[in-house]
Amino acid sequence: MTRIGRRAPMVVRPLQRKDVPVMVTATAHPLSVEATPDPRLTRWMWLVKWILAIPHYIVLFPLHIAFVLLSVIAFFSILITGSYPRRLFDFNVGVIRWSTRVTYYCSAVMATDEYPPFTLRETPGYPIRVDMVYPQQLSRGLVLVKWLLVVPQLLVITLLLTSGRRAYQYLDDYSPLSSGLVGLLSLVAMVILTCTGSYPRGLFDLLVGLMRWMLRVLVYASLMTDEYPPFRLDLGGGEPLAGAVEPVVGGDTQGAPDPLP
């Protein structure tokens, strides 16, 4: 009697041609910052936004203290277990998310008139959205030296982006106009908005790029990722690395990662 068994599934392998480029999706930075300029900005509202945001300052003050304390707890957790406690991570991402919305509204960019919500959660409909991939494993040794490795980044931020006293106090900067280069560019953008009724797109792209850079430095210094922030301005409201592709000529299609959806 012939024994009937289950058939092994047929595997169809792609043709492997050395002269055909294969599109490989680039790895995105763990932190994602996406922003959309408000097309209906009021010409004069930027003068009073910092006053309207005072309730946010009051709530965020203790949240920033909690952010620092939880980062200290996370330091010991990473040192012992190699992992960042998920609940602490989600909370700190929420604080960064909330602070960034307020900064985008009344300080560094001021590219929306929509009042920021009082929440740590992601709000898909708000003009700026911040999210971050949770790291399953973090280096125990690297956690001891990140503060030293990030010094060059902080020096650049101090010299070019903000004043020295604001180099690592980005979360707390809710003045009507941020200091340093960011404040100057914001002021120029607001003057143009007042005169023309529209936000200059070039300045928007630059200010969001600077904000993205500072946030990448912040999450690295706060031990939330092992990926060192690049010395690069990724301009514009979209996250440029998330959908970037690069051709691989002469490569083998086997083992290549699937493109991101």
Which DSSP state fits 33?
E
Count helices and strands in the chain by DSSP H and E runs: 7, 4
What is the rounded distance in angstroms from the CA atom of residue 63 to the CA atom of residue 209? 25
Query: Tell me: the pLDDT tens digits for 175-217?
Result: 444 557 888 899 999 999 999 999 999 999 999 999 999 899 9
Which DSSP state fits 246?
E
| Mean pLDDT (the chain, rounded) | 80
- Whether residue 190 contacts residue 110, with contact meaning beta carbons closer than 8 Å, is answered with yes
Q: Where are the domains of the chain?
A: 24-236
pLDDT of residue 241: 52
In degrees, to the nearest 5, what angle opens at C-alpha 69 toward C-alphas 154 and 230?
25
pLDDT of residue 239: 79
What is the rounded distance in angstroms from the CA atom of residue 255 to the CA atom of residue 24? 11
